[in-house]
Each structure stands twice: as structure tokens, then as C-alpha cells.
């Protein structure tokens, strides 16, 4: 956005504007998972050509895919951390048993 005195001019590309609109629709629950989005219908609704709608949808798809991948990586890291803690506990328990048995055997 560019501001000239009292006038603010939106200088974002059409793709960015369509993207923001679609993202807002998703956040507001107007567009839901599994909805069949038709590029031409959206373009007519927004009074733009199909190209910015197509590009905005590609960008949304990419960002959603990446965010899901990030969540999976966080979950994997959390699982690995839990497994590591559990292995540490098991290792500590085994060491204690060995030390206890060694102490008893040396009596």
C-alpha cells in the first residue's frame, strides 16, 4: 500500500489480493476442506481473470502443504524426543540393575 496524502493506493498484485481474499474466506469458514472451488466461478465473482485465481490457489495449496509438513516434522520431533527420554530411562534402569547386581555379587 502506498499513501499519498489522504489517499491510500493498494499496489499489491491481483494474485496477492485474490490470495488474501481466499485466505480470509478459509479463516472465516466460508471455504471449507473438501469444497470444490471452480477457478472460473471465483474469477467471475471477484471480477478478475482466471490466472490470478489459479496462481492464488496454487500458492495456498503450497503453503498448506508446507505447513502440514511442518506439523508432521514437529510431531516426529516430539515422538523422537519422547522415545529418547524413554530410552534414557530404560538405559538408566539397566545401569542401576547392573550396578546393583555387581555390588551384590562383590559382597
What is the tens place of the pLDDT at every residue in 83-103?
666 666 666 666 666 666 554
Count of residues in the chain? 107
The domain spanning residue 99 has which CATH number? 1.10.10.10
The stretches of the chain forming alpha helices (DSSP H) are 14-27, 39-46, 50-105
What is the rounded CA–CA span in Å between residue 31 and residue 58?
15
What is the tens place of the pLDDT at every residue in 55-71?
999 998 888 777 777 66
- Tally of domains in the chain: 1
- Burial (CB count within 10 angstroms: exposed 0-12, middle 13-18, buried 19+), residue 46: middle
Q: Select from 67, 55, 69 the least CA-distant residue to 13.
A: 55
Which residues, at least 6 apart from 17, have a Cβ–Cβ distance to it below 8 Å?
10, 52
Identify the domain containing residue 88 by its residue range: 2-105
Amino acid at each position: 500500500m502506498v499513501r499519498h496524502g489522504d489517499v491510500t493506493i493498494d499496489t499489491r498484485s491481483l494474485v496477492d489480493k485474490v490470495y488474501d481474499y481466499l485466505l480470509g474466506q478459509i479463516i472465516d469458514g466460508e471455504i471449507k476442506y473438501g469444497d470444490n472451488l471452480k477457478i472460473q466461478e471465483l474469477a467471475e465473482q471477484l471480477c478478475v481473470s482466471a490466472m490470478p485465481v489459479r496462481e492464488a490457489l496454487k500458492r495456498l495449496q503450497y503453503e498448506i502443504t508446507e505447513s502440514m509438513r511442518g506439523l508432521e516434522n514437529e510431531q516426529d520431533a516430539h515422538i523422537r524426543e519422547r522415545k529418547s527420554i524413554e530410552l534414557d530411562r530404560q538405559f538408566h534402569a539397566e545401569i542401576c540393575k547392573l550396578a546393583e547386581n555387581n555390588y551384590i555379587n562383590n559382597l
